[in-house]
């Protein structure tokens, strides 16, 4: 603590955790992540939702999968909603997502994509979905969505509750 002039946190949530851990509050400052804005115009005809990230349990993909299946099976009195959710990324849940993709409401897996392709999908989506069930600090994909002007739907958990403002981002 004596040799460090500043500790950098990526948001207020993380700053508070560092101070709780014993770092001096006056030396902990917030400097959010940033990226260059993509050189893409948003599509006029946006459709569907987009998830970009690791395909693992803590990222809340089961929550997203269950929501899609529930919307598709609304019951005999209601028409099923056809909600398209594209999923970019790789990880241990990829085989399970592929198996469920054939069901109505299943997620459409795109695989691992280079940044330029992710940005193209961002330009054409209605919103980015971040259904994490773990404490995220500041996912890079969040700031990429903000830079692309893409609205974000996120879990109200940890730093995501601070970073995603209802009706604004």
Alpha carbons 23 and 9: distance in angstroms, whole number: 11
Alpha carbons 168 and 15: distance in angstroms, whole number: 23
Alpha carbons 12 and 30: distance in angstroms, whole number: 7
Alpha carbons 31 and 15: distance in angstroms, whole number: 10
Alpha carbons 53 and 144: distance in angstroms, whole number: 12
Among residues 83, 114, 111, 84, the alpha carbon closest in space to that of 97 is found at: 111
Grouping H, G, I as helix, E, B as strand and the rest as coil, residue 128 is strand
Among residues 90, 160, 91, 89, the alpha carbon closest in space to that of 131 is found at: 160
Grouping H, G, I as helix, E, B as strand and the rest as coil, residue 153 is strand
Alpha carbons 139 and 159: distance in angstroms, whole number: 10
pLDDT in tens, the chain (169 residues): 678 999 999 999 999 999 999 999 999 999 998 888 888 777 778 888 999 999 999 999 989 888 877 777 665 566 655 678 999 999 999 998 888 877 767 789 999 999 999 999 999 999 999 999 999 999 999 999 999 889 999 999 989 999 999 988 8
**Please, what's the b/e burial string for 17-38 (b: 16 or more CB within 10 A of its CB; e: otherwise)?**
bbbeeebeeeebeeeeeeeeeb
136, 50 contact by CB (below 8 A): no
Q: Where are the beta strands (DSSP E) in 15-121?
A: 28-30, 49-52, 85-88, 108-111
């Amino acid at each position: 603590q004596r040799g460090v002039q500043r500790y950098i946190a990526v948001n207020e949530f993380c700053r508070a955790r560092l101070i709780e851990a014993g770092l001096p509050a006056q030396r902990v400052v917030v400097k959010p992540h940033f990226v260059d804005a993509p050189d893409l115009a948003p599509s006029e005809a946006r459709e569907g939702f987009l998830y970009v990230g690791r395909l693992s349990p803590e990222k809340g993909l089961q929550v997203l999968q269950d929501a899609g299946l529930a919307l598709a099976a609304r019951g005999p009195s209601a028409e099923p909603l056809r909600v398209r959710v594209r999923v970019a990324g790789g990880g241990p849940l990829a085989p399970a997502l592929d198996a469920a993709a054939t069901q109505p409401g299943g997620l459409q897996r795109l695989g691992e994509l280079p940044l330029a392709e992710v940005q193209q999908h961002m330009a054409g989506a209605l919103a980015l979905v971040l259904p994490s069930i773990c404490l995220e600090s500041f996912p890079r994909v969040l700031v990429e969505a903000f830079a692309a002007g893409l609205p974000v739907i996120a879990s109200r958990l940890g730093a995501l509750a601070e970073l995603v403002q209802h009706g604004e981002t």
